[in-house]
Each structure stands twice: as structure tokens, then as C-alpha cells.
Structure 1
């Protein structure tokens, strides 16, 4: 077994050197947090108005579980703010461990406070250099910021700390953002088939990366095959948004309305990313304006607050739903200030192109 392990490690290093490195958008992709094989993938809790748990009575395990649920529909707004307050109270304790800083970084990442999140992760890693979750999240944030070298280095730091599939997924996602999309997709597909992860959460994370890579290559049917492995009823918002994007690229707008609409309607709090896709699908169908009106109200609120956290969603809204080139470019530029992945660059370029075309059309009138 030791010889096999050595060969795997060497193969991993070779692959990482060749591909350079990865993690997905997504705007909507959240980093995978690997845990034990018997972990429950998702649990649904009823929100209530019971008194808050006192800061000194809640454990890190409880906070971790609380944050984990924040990635599911209708949960983010309720959970991340409260978790941040709990964690800030614990960070005042001189004995804060690596997990405290890691969880705090997850909250900061969600709020697009990327520089602050990196600082928290560096503290986490300094306390425990083998903290796999912290290295993965660090790679993800650097990638979102467009810092390919730092993202690559974070992935390479996983060698000897994580299994080959996890390391390769991290590395190949970085490589895909650095001009090697097709090669990275083929290699990750091969490794995913070869190692067949038994951990459901790890598998979900890699499936999301594969589907995103396929879609970016214009292979929506392949992306759909990957996503068929996912139970949408227990999928996080990022995966649901990707599922909607894949179906819209195949002109299956009615399926987006039916499936995503039914999920969104289950919860009193509606996620911007899902409302946006429902509005886009509805606009293309041209049969009603229910979702467009709903998201328009959300857009008005975001604009009043100058809410840069949702800049990408607003730019897409003014590109594809309520077409207003100047506003689309404004929000695309605001988004580009903090997020610099390929999809963010494409959004910026499309907004500029739309404004230029609009100005040219006015001149010809």
C-alpha cells in the first residue's frame, strides 16, 4: 500500500505541474468542505423566533452546522449574519483555534469581504498547516479574485494533506480558469470516473465543477448528464443556479420555471440568484411577468442600498431582463472590482458591447 500511495502522490504532482491549476464560479459555486463519509448532506430546520442562544453557549460544531445550511434556498440571509456575530465573540478569546478562523472566513467570503477572509484563513493555517478546508477555501477566494498564482499555490499545499481526487479537482479548476479548460475538464472527468468518490458532498462538489466546465465549453448536454447525479431537492443554491443556466442554454425555459419556481416558492425568503434565473426564463418564454416583477422589486431594493454583493445579478438583470445598457455596465464594473473570473470578464465585455451597440443604434436613427 505504501508503494501505491507513493505512485499516487507522484502522479498528482505531475498532473499539477502540467495543468498549472482551479475552483468554480460560481458566482454561484461554494467551496467543498470535506467531512466524514457518514455526514448528512443537508438538513432542513424550521426558522422560529425563539430567543438567541447565548454566545458563550454555542459550540463551533453548532456554528459550522448553522453555516452549512446557509448555502441552501431561503437560508443565507438568516444564517450568515448571526454566525458572524457568534464567531466575532469567539475570536475575542485568545484561545481561538483554526476552525474558528476558517468558519469566520466562510462568512466573510459569502459577504464578498475577500481580503479579510484571506487574513482569517492565514491565521487558520498558521495554527494548523494541515487544515484542508482552509487551503481549499483560500484557493477558491484567490481564484475569484483572479489571482491564479496564489490559487495554484494553495492547491499545491494540499499535497500530502488530502486525497488525489480532491487535490486534482482543486488544481484542475484553477487550470481551467487559466486557459486550459478543455484539458482540465477531460482530466477531471477521467479522475472522477476512476476514483468514484463515496463521500456524497465531495461528489456533489466535483460534479458541480464538471458541469460548469462543460457548460463553459458549450457542451450543455454533457453538463446536464453530470447534473443528473444531483438530487435538486437537497441541492445548494449554487447548484440550482447552475442547473437553471444549463437548461436555459438548451432553451428549456419552461423546465426552469417549473422546477426552480417550485423550490423557491417553498421558502418565505427568496434567493437573488434563483429569482434572477426565473426572471430570465420567464422573459424568454414571454408568457407572464410574475417572476420579473418579483425580481424587479429586489433590484430596486439592491440599488437603493448600493448593494455591491449582488452586482453580478444586477448586471445580468439589466442585460437580459430589463435591458438597460448603462446600468448593466455600471453593475458589471462594480462586480469586476471584487470578482475576476472568466464569467465576470464575460459579463463586463457583454455589457460594454451592449452599450456600444445601443449608442450606435441611436446614431442611425
Structure 2
């Protein structure tokens, strides 16, 4: 069974973050409207419908989960959950099962459960690449930097390059932004023929470290060339960086066609609405987003609370509401973007109340 080993990097991280699908030679997806299936997915579906097969179900779960990270393909996440649920208990000991289960759980911000799902993998293969990197990603999402480094250390004797990248990301998150950024740039420049998945992962880290080092233009430059292949998490980062540079037109031009073709999830639609408002465009994005957010509030939907915080901070200003959702988001996700969102919400409320900044 062949999976894309680096599918885990693009999981939302919190999504707020997180992450897409770049197929391997055996997994080719052509993105045409609406939500097209590959020939492989069609074949696997037809075969498992005729005669259920655990290996086919696992493959479909992996393909749908990886594809769900592409902007506009969020609905595939539920298909991934469905196909994983079709795997019989007899095959839950297949090492791919806990890996996919952990990946799904961490996308839902169920981080403790995701780590628990990885334990059977580590008990059999302590240095498993995908499991080790996923564990590091989860620990980073919850700001457990020492544990993240311990997860990276599992790679020391398996893959020195991946160990180095993993460690530099942890060092950056630990506050050594400039040093890590410089070292990671040198490491990146020495590589040749980097696989697409690893290149996207590296560029995401480099963009974050450039931003945290104060160079927003450089951060944007790391992401712009690869947007066509990038997961939602990198699109979100690119959009936020571009909006910070007042490049509203670029954000509007690139996101609007995707929304018209596939229908973007709330996270990217928030950024499109910000650009629409700044350009005084009249495409109804803000009105559509308002309806979506109202529905989420009625349902009491607390998933991806960062979307609501961004909405009340940037589209329909309500600092009190923004702070509420930013604090709720911070309870589970503590990455730099989550910390920044919480601080921005606090500053907005302070400004509204006319309280002098300390």
C-alpha cells in the first residue's frame, strides 16, 4: 500500500493550519470542477462496493484525506472518515490504520487522542518516519517543544535530512527564529531534486521563520511560486502575508476563481472577504460568509474557532466576540498564528474600550 508519506504535514496544523495533496506517480489527481475523482479512486470505489476489501478502504481513506487538504476539497475529509470506518477490526492492527486515524484526529484538534493512536506504530517501529514527524507536528501545535524535539530525535538514525529540518523547526518555535531560519536556508540550498511534498513542507517552515524574523516579503516569496500545488494551510499563510503587505488585489484575484469553481471553506473565505472589502468589490463574498458564520453560531459549532475569531476581527468587527473565539481556539492550538490572533483580539478590545496600552 503506497501512501504519500508527507501528507501529515499539511493538516491544520491547526488550521488553522495545516495542510494538501500532491500525488505520487501512483496517485494522480486532476483538479477540475467539481471535486473530481481520479481513475484510481473510481476503480477502488467500484471494487470495494462490489466486494468490500480492507486494503482498498485504507487506500481510499488515504487518498481522500490527502485530497481534502487542497483548497475547495474540504468535503473529502468526511469521505476519508467514512472509508476508514469501513476497515474491519481484524485489520486495525495494519500499521496504516492508526496512522490515518491519528491524522484525522489531529486535524480535528484532538491532539491527545492522535498521539495515543500513534503508540501502536511506535511500539512496532520506534523510528517510523511518518509517525515521528506527525508526533512532532502535534507537539508543536500544542507548544510542547521539548516533546517535539524528542519526536524529531527518533529520526536521527533513519534520515538525517528530515531530522535536521524537524529540529530546525522546533528550534524556531523555541524562540531561535533568526538562527534557525539562516541554518534552514543553507540546508535547503544544498538540496537537489527535492520531492514536491518535502519542498512544500520546507517552504512552509521557511515562510514562518522569515515572518517571525520580521521579513514578510521574504516569507511571501517562499510560498508564491508553489501555490498551485500548495495545501490550504499554505494558502492561508500566503493570504495573510499578502494582506499584511496590502496586496489585496492579488489575494482577491487568486482566491475568487477557486471559490467560484470549488467553493472555499470558511478559513479562506474570510481572507477573500477581507480583500473584497478593501477593494470595495461587489461579489457577495462578505454576505455569503456572514450567512455561514451565523449558521455556525446557531449550531454552536466550536470547530476551527480561529475562523470565527478572524471573522469578528477582520470582516465584521466585534472585538469582544473575536476575543471569545480566539481564547477558545487557544485552548487547543498554540502555534505562532494562534498566539498572534489572541494578541490582536485583545488589542482590538482594548482599543475599542479606550484603555491605554501598557
- Find the counterpart in structure 2 of residue 202 from structure 1: 198
For normalisation by structure 2, the TM-score amounts to: 0.84
Matched, 1:352 2:340: no
Shift of 1:43: 4.1
- Find the counterpart in structure 1 of residue 255 from structure 2: 260
- Find the counterpart in structure 1 of residue 168 from structure 2: 172
- Find the counterpart in structure 2 of residue 151 from structure 1: 148
- Find the counterpart in structure 2 of residue 61 from structure 1: 59
- Find the counterpart in structure 1 of residue 215 from structure 2: 219
1:1-365 equivalences under 5 Å are 27-30=15-18, 38=25, 42-44=29-31, 46=36, 53-54=48-49, 56=53, 58-77=56-75, 79-90=76-87, 92-93=89-90, 96-164=93-161, 166-230=162-226, 232-267=227-262, 269-288=263-282, 290-360=284-354
Shift of 1:137: 0.8
Contact 1:32/1:205 (<8 A) preserved = no
Distance in 1 between the 2:273 and 2:21 partners?
Answer: 31
Of the two structures, which has the highest relative contact order with CA contacts closer than 8 Å and spacing of 6 or more? 1
Shift of 1:304: 1.7
Distance in 2 between the 1:295 and 1:35 partners?
Answer: 31
Distance in 2 between the 1:319 and 1:234 partners?
Answer: 29
Closer, same or farther: CA 91–127 of 1 in aligned 2, 3 Å:
farther
Task: Could you tell me which runs of 5 or more consecutive residues in structure 1 were left unpaired when the two chains were aligned.
Answer: 1-22
Give deviations 1:164-201, integer Å, cap 9, x for gaps: 1x222211111111111111111111100012342111
For normalisation by structure 1, the TM-score amounts to: 0.83
Distance in 2 between the 1:154 and 1:35 partners?
Answer: 26
Task: Could you tell me which runs of 5 or more consecutive residues in structure 2 were left unpaired when the two chains were aligned.
Answer: 1-10
Q: Which moved further from structure 2: 130-139 or 58-67? A: 58-67
